[in-house]
Chains A and B, each alone.
Chain A
Amino acid sequence: GAGVSQSPSNKVTEKGKDVELRCDPISGHTALYWYRQSLGQGLEFLIYFQGNSAPDKSGLPSDRFSAERTGGSVSTLTIQRTQQEDSAVYLCASSLVRPLGETQYFGPGTRLLVL
């Protein structure tokens, strides 16, 4: 079956521009997560959605970062006024929410380069 998909796969932008990154979770998965991974670093949690609401936004690094999810499915991560330090791979994951044994499945990521 279809896994998590993300678009674009690569994005090059100029400092100061806004970018939108898209995530299509696995059908039926109500939980959705955004992470980012800078070059040579581990994964850094950004935000968690349960349905359309975001009970945990604690990982968003600044108010330039925002995310929304509509219809309990597709999510968009927006970075305004991009900075060079925003360059990273942005990963999306989705999961079912079950009482025990929730497993997150990741997409291939969007590689963002801010010049």
Chain B
Amino acid sequence: DAKTTQPPSMDCAEGRAANLPCNHSTISGNEYVYWYRQIHSQGPQYIIHGLKNNETNEMASLIITEDRKSSTLILPHATLRDTAVYYCIVRVATGANSKLTFGKGITLSVRP
């Protein structure tokens, strides 16, 4: 799976948009971009994934650049409960090698 690079931490004010960047310059054509988050003492929670088109769901939006070498996860109106470690993962979607490889992620702190 392609390696991803994320800044170690960032913060944002409650109610504002949180834009979390991820670089994946070695991504290949059949690899998806996945985002998970892990709130303290809980299991990882799936957020969103995409291949090349921008995606939106009830939790977040995923913006993937045209060359697919980077992406941004957008939480449109961050709340205190969004404080967590966010993981950007690039992987082939299925098959025997579908295990997730989590890096260090980015710690998002939402301040009141």
B94 adjacent to A98 (CB under 8 Å)? yes
Given the contacts A48-B96, A56-B96, A99-B94, A42 and B45 also touching, CB distance less than 8 Å: no
**Shortest Cβ distance from residue A93 to the other chain B in the assembled complex, whole angstroms:** 8
A56 adjacent to B43 (CB under 8 Å)? no
A42 adjacent to B104 (CB under 8 Å)? yes
Name B105's closest neighbour in chain A (CB-CB): A42
A45 adjacent to B44 (CB under 8 Å)? no
Interface size on A, residues (CB 8 A): 28
- B103 / chain A contacts, CB cutoff of 8 Å: 42
Of the listed stretches A14-22, A61-69, A76-84, A101-109, name the one at the interface; the rest are far from the partner chain: A101-109
Q: How many A-B residue pairs have CB under 8 A?
A: 61
Name A101's contact: one of B45, B49, B97, B99 (CB within 8 Å). B49
Name B103's closest neighbour in chain A (CB-CB): A42
- A45 / chain B contacts, CB cutoff of 8 Å: 99-101
**Shortest Cβ distance from residue A96 to the other chain B in the assembled complex, whole angstroms:** 9
Complex alpha-carbon distance, A10 and B51, angstroms? 37
Complex alpha-carbon distance, A103 and B91, angstroms? 11
Given the contacts A42-B103, A42-B104, A102 and B44 also touching, CB distance less than 8 Å: no
Beyond A59-B99, A106-B45, list 5 extra A-B contacts (CB 8 Å). Answer: A43-B100, A56-B97, A93-B44, A97-B94, A98-B93
